[in-house]
Structure 1
Amino acid sequence: MLIRNMFIKYYTAAGQEEGGGGGGGQPEITPEMQKLIDERVASEVTGLKNKNSELLGTIKQQKDNLSRFEGIDPDAVRGIIQRFSDDEEAKLIAAGKVDEVLDKRTERMRADVDKQIKAANERADKAEAFSSKFRDRVLGDAIRGAAAKAGALAEASDDLILRAKGAFQLNDEGEAVAVDANGDVLFGKDGKTPLTPLEWAESLKETAPHLFPRAEGTGAGGHKPGGGGGSVKRSEMTSTDKAAYIRKHGQQAFLQLPK
């Protein structure tokens, strides 16, 4: 626009000098005019170059600044900053109450640890309960089988299993092993091999004969007052006979006598 105005100015001036204001020829570009044009163009170009260099430098600087944040989500960062500014701990730290912040964090960590310990204990208790139930079942089956082989009464199974709990434990192989009060293994009659459930059940024939069937006709199973034959009835026994029978054979055997 500036150059155009210069042309118009000098064109008008030249026309007025040559034709008194009305000539129609082409404007003459004098050396002075060309010099002014060249200087003005050079000035404009230099300014544009400087401006372009300045813009390129700014763009490069912005790129360098942005490269430091490559891979960082600006929205996420703003969210974190906002959350931190609103956070209770941030406010306490800003107020210089660092010890209070540490106490709160310790309390949260302790609560979390206590929660984990409680959950672990509950799992351990459940596992122990399951294991105990499993051990009782295996031990009960072993004693029940041994009692049957020894000829014990079927209704005496619960009594035998209850007695066995204080005398037997399961080893790592799931086998019933007799132990004493100190947990030491008890040996059988040979003194070499551990006492088996069968051998233990057999020994109860002497210490708890009421757990086994009475022998017929031998006097071992029933009380025979006056030397008469057959099992005596409870209704036919005197109080002294009843007491003597119970002392010898046990309450269970007495109750098994016919009424």
Structure 2
Amino acid sequence: MGKLSGKTALVTGGSRGIGRSIAERLGSEGALVAVHYAFNEQAAKETVTAIEQAGGRAFSLRTELGVPGDAEALWAAFDEGIGEFTGAAGTGAGPGADADAGTGEGGGLDILVNNAGVAGHGLIHEVEEADFDRVFAVNAKAPFFVIKHGLKRLRDGGRIINISSGVTKVAFPGMTSYAASKGAVEVLTLTLAQTLGERGITVNAVSPGTIETDIHPWMADPDAKAHAASFSVFNRVGQPADVADVVGFLASPDARWVTGQNIDVSGGSGLGL
């Protein structure tokens, strides 16, 4: 029995990269994992299959984030998926909830991982308003309202884990809008840890450094990859599992006394600066 047996988790952007690794990690610990994706259905199917082949359980759901009504659509899709999987409707409890808490899987939720995000590039004078709005809509607004509408499903003692970024720790002028959106997520994390503490819900953030995924095709250049590796004290680039294992800890009972924290998962990047 894994540490998350009997728990249900939702990972936004869970079909690829860091999100996929997180979904697989939670599934390996026994959680029933809802793998959210926006566009790549094949990647989501592959993630679900990988979890199942490893002995876990998962289902996928598709909604686009960063558009009007995105949070409501996501939870409607979750309710449909979990209902087909467990035969139960979504429920929740506590302040901000509309129904009594369930126990075990049922139709409720125990772990919410806000991982989905989009990149934003450019110096401040190069960023167009539409691009800025898109970055904030997906990276900051969507998690806010996904959490808001998810509270009636999230059981007391649950976990909220927000994926931030190491770019909030040092100045990256070429990623101004992206860094600002992740800064908003970190403040939201701190505030919600205080707000939801009375329900026993922990709220934490994880800030990866440079991670080798398919969204970084430039790492195919050995020189560029070596340069990125030099940021870390371990002289290597991060792997998705480096982040997923930390998320797995925060999602587990072992992290019951950890809340309101932002865990740096960058391999010590920038320690010598």
Q: TM-score range by the shorter chain?
A: under 0.3
TM-score (norm 2): 0.20
Decide which structure has greater helix share. 1
The structure number with the bigger radius of gyration is 1
TM-score (norm 1): 0.20
Decide which structure has greater strand share. 2
Q: Which has the higher contact order (CA 8 A, sep 6+)?
A: 2
